[in-house]
Amino acid sequence: MCGLRRPCWRIAVRYYDTSALVKQYLQEAGSKLVLELLKSGEKVYTASLTYAEAHAAFSRRTREGRLTRETTKRLALRFDKDWESYDIVVLSENVFRLARQMLYRHPLRSADAIHLASALLLARTSPRSSWSFVCADGRLCDAAKSEGFQPIFTAADSA
């Protein structure tokens, strides 16, 4: 049940960029919010780029000494298992062309533009009328909002 004290996120389909999706595996600011969103059991939409970016996030934390090799292995295996259940936008010429447009329209990094383009193509080909864009990057959330998405900012947990 949702109301004034509990946000109603079920009204939209959600696209997750990597910065948000990895929060279910790594204990950091925003992890509780992402776990709450994922509890709904609704499909997870993301780009194929997320696979490499998530593993990069795990390995970087290992190199920095923030995760043990054993923990990293466990998280990587869990991510790979979950990956099979995600709906993936495969990178294509259409994604790259739209990402190019996003780079000239918004102050984004290349990977962020690819995520936004992936979500836009997915939304354009879906009969759903309302899409949310879940991410932990303020600039990317702003760009997603200006492109018609309902952004869900996951850099911190809600109070």
Q: CA distances (Å), 68 to each of 10, 14, 80, 90, 113, in order? A: 36, 32, 18, 31, 32
pLDDT of residue 41: 82
Q: Domain limits of the chain?
A: 13-47+86-153
What the block records as the tokens of 83 is 């990956």
* Secondary-structure class of domain 13-47+86-153 per CATH: alpha beta
* Cβ pair 96, 117 in contact under 8 A: yes
pLDDT of residue 130: 83
What pTM was estimated for this model as a whole? 0.88
pLDDT of residue 127: 74
pLDDT of residue 100: 98
Cα–Cα distance measured from residue 47 to residue 98, given in angstroms and rounded to the nearest whole number: 14
- Give the chain's residues under pLDDT 50: 1-11, 159
Cα–Cα distance measured from residue 105 to residue 103, given in angstroms and rounded to the nearest whole number: 6
pLDDT of residue 159: 46
Question: Quick one: which H or E segment has residue 45?
Answer: strand 45-47
